[in-house]
Amino acid sequence: MKKIQIVLLVLIAVSIAVLISFLKASPTYDTVDIAKSKPGKSVSLIAKLDRSQPVEYDYKNPNFLSFTVIDSLGGKVKVVYHNPKPDNLEHSERLVLKGAINGDYFECKEILMKCPSKYKDDKKVIEKSLPTSMLSPASKNAEIKY
Amino acid sequence: MDYSGERLLPGQLGHFFIILSLVASLAATFAYFKATASKNNPEKDSWKRLARISFIIEAISVTAILGLIVYINFNHLFEYQYAYKHTSRSLETKYLMACTWEGQEGSFLLWSFWHCILGLVVIKTSRQWETPVMTIVSLTQVFLATLVAGLYFFGEKVGSNPFVLLRNETAGPLFSRADYLSFIKDGNDLNPLLQNYWMTIHPPVLFLGFASTLFPFAFAFAGLWTKKYGEWTKAALPWALFSAAILGLGVMMGGMWAYESLTFGGYWAWDPVENASMVPWLTLVAGIHTLLIYKHTGRALKPTFLFFIFCFGLILYSTFLTRTGILGDTSVHAFTGEGNSLKIHLLIFMAATLIPALVLFFTNNKYIPSIQQEESSSSREFWMFIGSLVLFLAGIVIIGKTSVPLFNKIFNTNIAAPEDVEFAYNRIQVFVAIVIGALTAIVQYLKYKQTQRKLFWKKIGVPTIIAAVIATLVLGFGNINYNDKGIGFLAAIWVALVAAIYAAIANLLYIWIGMKGKLKLSGASITHFGFALMLVGILISSSKKEVLSHNTSGIFVPLGEGNKITGDPGDNLTLVKGVPMDMGKYMVTYESDSSHAEKPLWYYRIHFKSKDGKDEFTLTPTAFVNYKGNEGLMASPDARHYWDHDVYTYITSLRNPEAAKDTTSFKSKDIKIGDTIFYSAGFMVLEKITSRDSLPKELFGENGALYEAQIKIHSKNNTSYTAMPKLAIAKGNTLPVADTVTSESLVLKLNSVDGNNVQLGVKETESILEYVTLKAYKFPFIRVLWLGVIIMVAGFIISMIRRNELNRSARQAEDLNFSKQQNG
């Protein structure tokens, strides 16, 4: 076997090993209960904001935010996040939270939000953006019934 | 219904040109195919003539389509969905131009436009290669034309047409009126995050880069097709160099854009869109190196074919990943999906170009020249090939990681993105940087086929010693002590940095040692030098990135409270208007703000003054606030540039205007002179009370009085203030005049005065405060990175010009020989 072929095989083997270890080490999307069963291990939670619980945030301290989330199976957990509150948090439909369970709460490193109006390419958003009222100031004198 | 006010002509012209471009590209593909396949010359020439005419019509059509989109946008023709969706009246000209490529359709057209321009260059310059190469180019043009066709084939909608009317695409009561257009006053605007001059520059360059990767592929394809397995490489080399220059520039421009105006906190986030355009570049660079090996030694021709095929394939695959919405939540700026039809469309596109190429490659495999004898391990080609392989495999690892959401869909797994995405990539790629850095340094000093050991050491000795000295200095005094990720990663960064410095020095000196200072011939060394500088810049700026805005000594957040759990003080600092705050080596003050006349765009003036008083400057980060009903802010950073570092800041949070409604009330305290009252952030002392005499009777009446209390306030951060609340008794009424200490959010009011006893009303409120929360970083040596990019691109261009000249003179020599033979 030629040297170059040996190098080729070794490099390909290394690449495959790297990819597999990456996949192995990657967290999975988990529910609250599963996350609780492995404290300290980083996971991605998919959950919704629990609107019955308060969102704790003081603008004076932009490095502390706390709220509660509930997942589709009804599991609840308190979340702590050490960054300013994302503005659309209260309007979010779905949250993806990266972090790990730490004691009785979820220590969150990153929040990804799925918001109703995130993408303006969405057809519905365009429809919404159209003037709907025929009585907007510019057209008041038009007042035509149809 | 007859709608009033609509201007339908531009759209009708647009539809016409879209059909024309589709037909013309089909005709060009067919005619070029026939011209390539036909054996006799007159037939070949007539097909070629037809093909050329078709392609020129195609080029005119695509240009006309883009021109019409520009016209519609610039004239605010909101009856067209494209203008309504992407533009608004308040946009400046440069952004109106940028709206052209904000949408899917416009960006596909931009890509197609560059294919046309580059295709015309092929027609002009490529002689024998024109017909097979242009067959491929025209075929891709067919697919790009269908992407914007919006036509129905067998009941399936194919592509999305940029000239569709708003009223046909959306429902709404509005459209039941003939005069609906008069109600649409303005469009949806260009996404505010994209309102940046880079949006005008970056996409055209990046798409030129994308378009240019087609040509090395097309030449390789032409080589296989015409069975001239080796000859195509000469013609393809300048194209590949051009492509590497422009694609590299385009990708890094994206990085500059992210650095300057997005709040990634850096220039590179290993975002899918970034990865997807970088990986083809790595593959292309691998291909250029194997092509050079072939040119000099006759080896590595097969990998060259594969690299160029993969490079174009990866461009299409990246389009597939980023345009179809398949990445879902994982990307900050992936386009959203247009549904399944785009996915299928792009898959067919990939299949139709790549499968024939790969089939041709494997069926011709045994005819493609290769050398069986083993190369010497002291030869340049051996190490160059390893370098190419490492580049390519590094790219495959990156794109593999990026494709995880796709694997999840296919194999029904639920693997999430790693907790620290950047580190997940960096920990692997730092080793790639070590290998590539070292190879870049050494391999130029090796000779093709066999290197004499003595000569090699003689030449490389001086650069090695100089690099060793510089690297020692950098490691010794540079404070490269990034140990967030452990000592192992730091060690890897150190080794990579040494390798990168070695590569920079060795290649810079090679211009004199190897090329005798002839810059025109030193394209490779210049490119490598620029690349090595990039590596140095990347390694230092990433590992030495410092957070300046540690919330350690704020008036609001006492030490340690930022993060009760980890003790990390937090990276966000709140600034109260007008109050200097302690931030690392600076005192920073939020001075003032102002807003754009026509948009909800705010400018925040943040003043920095170094504590030693030597340096003072103002940064103006900006933010769109509550843009179009989307509560919240979209921030853009600002940076101060120094030769060796940048100070970089952006707004992370603003006072919530809703929360600012004043609901707190005054608390009354009865005190005497000299008494102390505590409040949440300090204490205050009543120093004295004065009363004024000789008050004007017409205002105060009989028995009028005016008291003034002098109160000294000591805040926790050792700042003191004096407040002077007043109490007027006039015509039987008591009228307190409160005093405010803005920075302490205190309002003080005198309720009553009786000799030395007073009742003081104290209110702590948020509503009087104006504040912003920001993050600030120090990026060292970011300029080295940008300088590296510029030098690298210049190097590629120098090489390209050189290769073009060589090809031209070779051709002239050939022509001369030919005419000699004819005469003789």
Neighbours of B478 (CB within 10 A): 16
Query: Do B518 and B492 sit in the same domain of this protein?
Result: yes
Query: Do B261 and B397 sit in the same domain of this protein?
Result: yes
A4:B188 CB<8 A: no
B562 touches chain A (CB under 8 A): yes
Task: Point out the residue among B400, B414, B418 whose CB comes nearest to the CB of A19.
Answer: B400
Residue B264: both structure tokens together: 């990634």
Neighbours of B484 (CB within 10 A): 9
Task: Point out the residue among A22, A43, A109 whose CB comes nearest to the CB of B401.
Answer: A22
A119:B336 CB<8 A: yes
Query: Do B636 and B671 sit in the same domain of this protein?
Result: no
Percent of chain B past pLDDT 90, that is, above it, reads 41
Among A83-87, B128-132, B210-214, B787-791, the least confident range = A83-87
Among A2-11, B147-156, B261-270, the least confident range = B261-270
pLDDT band at B284 (very low <50, low <70, confident <90, very high): very high
Q: Is the pLDDT reported for residue B231 higher than 60?
A: yes
- The DSSP bridge partners found for residue B162 are none
| ipTM over cut 0.90 | no
Neighbours of B71 (CB within 10 A): 15
pLDDT band at A1 (very low <50, low <70, confident <90, very high): low
Residue B385 included in any domain: yes
Instruction: Give B577→chain A minimum CA distance, Å.
Output: 13
Q: pLDDT tens across A32-88, in order?
A: 888 888 888 888 888 888 888 888 877 667 778 888 888 888 888 889 888 877 767
Q: pLDDT tens across B708-745, in order?
A: 888 888 887 777 888 888 888 877 777 777 787 766 77
pLDDT of the residue at B560: 30
Residue B723 included in any domain: yes
Query: Do B47 and B79 sit in the same domain of this protein?
Result: yes
Q: How many Å apart are CA B536 and CA B470, to the nearest integer?
A: 12
pLDDT band at B297 (very low <50, low <70, confident <90, very high): very high
Instruction: Give B416→chain A minimum CA distance, Å.
Output: 5
Residue numbers in A near B385 (CB within 8 A): 4
Nearest chain A Cα to B82, which residue? A121
Percent of chain B past pLDDT 70, that is, above it, reads 93
pLDDT of the residue at B333: 46
A96 versus B493: the higher-pLDDT residue is: B493
B177 touches chain A (CB under 8 A): yes
Q: Is the pLDDT reported for residue B537 higher than 60?
A: yes
Q: pLDDT tens across B463-479, in order?
A: 999 999 999 998 888 77
B390 touches chain A (CB under 8 A): yes
Nearest chain A Cα to B564, which residue? A64
B419:A109 CB<8 A: yes
Residue B564 included in any domain: no
Residue B200 included in any domain: no
Which B positions 755-794 lie with beta carbon below 8 A of chain A? 766, 771, 773
pLDDT of the residue at B389: 94
Residue numbers in B near A14 (CB within 8 A): 393
Q: How far is CA B148 from each of CA B9, B518, B664, rounded to the nearest angstrom?
A: 19, 48, 59
- The DSSP bridge partners found for residue B646 are B641, B779
Among B106-120, B152-166, B646-660, B783-797, the least confident range = B646-660
Query: Do B636 and B502 sit in the same domain of this protein?
Result: no
Nearest chain A Cα to B334, which residue? A119
Residue B328: both structure tokens together: 């879902």
Q: Is the pLDDT reported for residue B300 higher than 80?
A: yes
Q: Is the pLDDT reported for residue B249 higher than 90?
A: yes
Positive/negative CA dihedral, B423, B471, B523, B456 = negative
Residue B144 included in any domain: yes
B655 touches chain A (CB under 8 A): yes
Task: Point out the residue among A2, A28, A136 whose CB comes nearest to the CB of B414.
Answer: A28
Find the helix or strand (DSSP H, E) in which B647 lies.
strand B645-654
Neighbours of A103 (CB within 10 A): 11
B419:A136 CB<8 A: no
Residue numbers in A near B398 (CB within 8 A): none
pLDDT of the residue at A131: 66
Residue numbers in A near B82 (CB within 8 A): none
Query: Do B386 and B256 sit in the same domain of this protein?
Result: yes
A32 versus B800: the higher-pLDDT residue is: B800
Average confidence (pLDDT) over B247-256: 93
Per DSSP, chain B holds a count of helices (H) and strands (E) of 21, 23
B418:A99 CB<8 A: no
pLDDT of the residue at B247: 96
Domain encompassing residue B476: 455-544+782-810
Q: How far is CA B522 from each of CA B182, B216, B428, B557, rounded to the nearest angstrom?
A: 62, 22, 31, 57
pLDDT of the residue at A32: 85
Q: Which residue has the tokens 């904000």?
A: B102
Task: Point out the residue among A15, A42, A63 whose CB comes nearest to the CB of B397.
Answer: A15
B374 touches chain A (CB under 8 A): yes
Task: Point out the residue among B414, B428, B562 whose CB comes nearest to the CB of A29.
Answer: B414
pTM: predicted TM-score of the whole model, two decimal places: 0.82
Q: pLDDT tens across B427-462, in order?
A: 889 999 999 999 999 999 998 888 888 888 888 989
Among B212-216, B729-733, B785-789, the least confident range = B729-733
The fold for domain A28-118 equals: OB fold (Dihydrolipoamide Acetyltransferase, E2P) (2.40.50)
Nearest to B133 by CA among B52, B220, B213: B220
Q: Is the pLDDT reported for residue B793 higher than 80?
A: yes
Where do the domains of chain A lie?
28-118
Positive/negative CA dihedral, B581, B583, B589, B595 = negative
Query: Do B54 and B182 sit in the same domain of this protein?
Result: yes
Nearest to B513 by CA among B466, B464, B463: B463
Residue B335: both structure tokens together: 């386009």
Among A95-99, B613-617, B646-650, B661-665, the least confident range = B661-665
pLDDT of the residue at B292: 95
Instruction: State residue B778 phi and psi, 5-degree precision.
Output: -115, 120
Query: Do B632 and B740 sit in the same domain of this protein?
Result: no
Residue B104 included in any domain: yes
Task: Point out the residue among B188, B415, B568 whose CB comes nearest to the CB of A126.
Answer: B188
pLDDT of the residue at A134: 44
Query: Do B603 and B679 sit in the same domain of this protein?
Result: no
The 3-state DSSP composition of chain B as helix, strand, coil percent (nearest 5) reads 55, 15, 25
pLDDT band at B547 (very low <50, low <70, confident <90, very high): confident
Average confidence (pLDDT) over B351-355: 94
B125 touches chain A (CB under 8 A): no
Nearest chain A Cα to B103, which residue? A121
Nearest chain A Cα to B372, which residue? A2
Query: Do B342 and B246 sit in the same domain of this protein?
Result: yes
Instruction: Specify the number of domains making up chain B.
Output: 5
Residue B504 carries which DSSP code? H
Q: How far is CA B216 from each of CA B116, B354, B621, B729, rounded to the nearest angstrom?
A: 16, 13, 43, 90
**Surface-to-core class of residue B694, CB atoms within 10 Å of its CB (0-12 exposed, 13-18 middle, 19+ buried):** exposed
Do residues B695 and B704 touch, judged by C-beta distance below 8 A?
yes
pLDDT band at B659 (very low <50, low <70, confident <90, very high): very low
Q: Which of A99-103, B655-659, B745-749 has the highest mean pLDDT?
A: A99-103
Q: pLDDT tens across B632-643, in order?
A: 677 888 889 888
pLDDT of the residue at B656: 56
Query: Do B625 and B583 sit in the same domain of this protein?
Result: yes
pLDDT of the residue at B733: 77
Nearest to B292 by CA among B280, B302, B304: B304
Residue numbers in A near B174 (CB within 8 A): 130-132
A130:B557 CB<8 A: no
A28 versus B395: the higher-pLDDT residue is: B395
Residue B489 included in any domain: yes
Residue B443 included in any domain: no
Q: Is the pLDDT reported for residue B262 higher than 90?
A: no
pLDDT band at B527 (very low <50, low <70, confident <90, very high): very high
pLDDT band at B176 (very low <50, low <70, confident <90, very high): confident
Residue B736: both structure tokens together: 């307190």
Query: Do B483 and B617 sit in the same domain of this protein?
Result: no
B84:A62 CB<8 A: no
